[in-house]
A and B are shown apart, each in its own frame.
Chain A
Amino acid sequence: MTAVLTPATATGGPETPGRRPGEKKRKRLLALAHSAPLLPAVLLLAVFLFGPVISSLYGSLTNASITGATAANAEFVGLKNYFDLFGDPDFPKSVLLTIVFLVASAIIGQNGVGLGLAVLMQSANKVVRTLVSTIVVTAWVLPEIVASFAAYAFFHDGGTLNEMLGVFGVEGPNWLYTFPMFAVILANVWRGTAFSMLVYTAALNDVPPEIREAAEVDGAKGWQRFAFITVPMIRRSISTNLMLTTLQTLSVFALIFVMTGGGPGTDSTTLPLLAYQEAFKFGELGFGTAIATILLVVGALFSIAYIRALRPEVD
């Protein structure tokens, strides 16, 4: 689309830049022509991603609903939704459940198991390594909903987990009902660990073996080499991976929706489920938008931290 304008500009031409009077204007035109191919992407992002973010901020200040009188013309209600939110006992509980879910499944579970797998694989046999990583990655590549069914079947009353406990003479509880958070946390670890495993495997492969060997010759034990040499060398991967797994886990919906539906009661209703229920099940669009906005703000804070951490690489 910029076919007419771009060709000569790319080479720069023989003229000396910045001397002629029309140069500044010409440069600006050039930049405009050069950036024209960005247009389709910019339009899509602006309308369908950043537009809703902005409208979310506004929508959370209205009493919009899906049906009824306030559906068509919502009124501006200021911070009422937020005050209601903080007064509603479901909200703090949901925040707490979300934090538990993030810390246990993303920060401890996925990162811990992922790093552990990556470390073990370094000293394992090739066949074992290939087989185990294929299994772990399969759980990750599976469509979300299929993984959720598999996890549902695993934790269900008469499911595989209890069947196996039965072999040892233990009668397992109905995990989805008695310990819903425990079940969804383990399911999220099962599903998401592959990502951390891949990140850490790549990071460990970048650690030069000479350094480890030198430490070994100097008499450092296995765990010392790991704690004082490997971990400091992959710390960048650790921090970015912590951030990314936390963000991914923050938006987990289908897994919990399928396994427990947020229940029993609200015992596994994390913020995405609460926003969904308020907005679509109870039709309180404004209220749901307020929850969504809080989630977006949390996501944005993580994003900023992530971008700051990555900065030297981007520049």
Chain B
Amino acid sequence: MTAPISMASPNRRAMKALSNGVLVVIGIVFLLPLVWLVLASVDSSATLSVKWPETFTLGNFTAILTPERSLIPLLNSTMLSGGCAILTVVASLLAAYPLSRYKMRVNKPFLYGVLFGTCLPITAMMVPVYSLFVAFNLIDSVGGTILFLAATSLPMAIWMMKNFMDSVPVSLEEAAWTDGASAMTTLRTIVVPLMRPGIGVVFIFVFIQTWGNFFIPFVLLLSPDKQPAAVSIFSFFGQYGAVAYGQLAAFSLLYAVPVLALYVLVTRLGGGSFALAGAVKG
């Protein structure tokens, strides 16, 4: 019994060392583009290549911390992502309730339809959506953009929400139903409190996705004072002849840090980092 294990163990140790070595190399390769962002942001003479700054400076950050350059775009991002996440959570929570609680003939076609929706390439939708927005006179409308963003995040949110709701036992609600409570009352007073972490996960998930979305606001929002950070950062890269790379990196970090923090929060909240990826599998 001990023979095969002791025979395997030096082999296993070599395997472990090899795995560690290869992983470290891949890790370094993956890290390099990220290191540039961090080092360039504190370098007064940043270029496109990774180098240790000769003088560390916070000048890049102070230079971009003006209302037009970062505060307004970041506020716009917060409004778009927050509005979209609230709308998505409410709509998906309501939709998930009948899907999770009643056996109805609409359930299956609806869920299939929604699953189909998660797979549509949103990039391809922008041309027809642009025409729709022109027709409804919604171009450059923050509200309209929020509605569209919510529609794009709904399919995934409905699936996630339904999965979370399925794990809340129905038996808890049955007592309330016999006492005459309505479905909406039990949803509010029993189901929602029990699935608070799940709702948090969906909210943050939608928020992160919308925060990072570039193409949708890029096409639908035209006035600079309405554009979120994703779009304003691009114009600041594209329009000036000589790009201030240090400032670009500083702005990128300022814009990226909130979602990185939220991601850490979401992994604490619900089932590890896989919660986001797992949701995609339905």
Contacts and interface: CB of A to CB of B under 8 A. Distances in A.
Interface of A: 1-4, 6-8, 10-11, 31, 34-42, 44-45, 47-53, 55-56, 59, 64, 113, 117, 120-125, 128-129, 131-133, 135-139, 141-147, 149-154, 156-160, 162-164, 190, 193, 195, 198-199, 201-202, 216-217, 222, 240, 244, 247, 250-254, 258, 271-272, 275-276, 279-280, 285, 288-289, 291-293, 295-296, 298-300, 302-304, 306-307, 310, 313-315
A44 B280 CA distance: 20
Contacts of B90: 40
Contacts of B178: 11
B112 interface: yes
Contact of B230 (A51, A139, A143, A151): A143
Contacts of A291: 127
A34 B150 contact: no
Interface string B102-139: 10111010111111111111111111111110000000
A296 B123 CA distance: 9
- Find the residue from A34, A137, A315 having the highest chain B CB count within 10 A: A34
B4 interface: yes
B74 to A, nearest CB: 12
Nearest to A12: B177
The binding surface of chain A is classed by DSSP as helix
A247 B119 contact: yes
Given A153-B48, A292-B126, 10 more contacts: A7-B182, A7-B183, A34-B102, A38-B106, A41-B91, A142-B34, A154-B32, A198-B276, A296-B120, A314-B111
Interface in B9-43: 12, 15-16, 19-20, 22-24, 26-27, 30-34, 36-37, 40
Interface of B: 4, 8, 12, 15-16, 19-20, 22-24, 26-27, 30-34, 36-37, 40, 47-51, 87, 90-92, 94-95, 97-99, 101-102, 104-106, 108, 110-132, 147-148, 150-152, 154-155, 158, 173-174, 177-178, 180-185, 208, 211-215, 219, 230, 233-234, 237, 245, 248-249, 252, 255-256, 259-260, 263, 273-274, 276-278, 280-282
A180 B145 CA distance: 32
Q: Which 10 A-B pairs have the closest CB atoms?
A: A303-B119, A48-B151, A295-B124, A143-B212, A251-B121, A56-B128, A41-B95, A52-B128, A132-B27, A6-B183
15 contacts: A3-B185, A7-B180, A11-B174, A34-B98, A35-B106, A55-B132, A64-B131, A135-B31, A142-B260, A157-B48, A162-B49, A190-B30, A272-B124, A292-B124, A299-B121
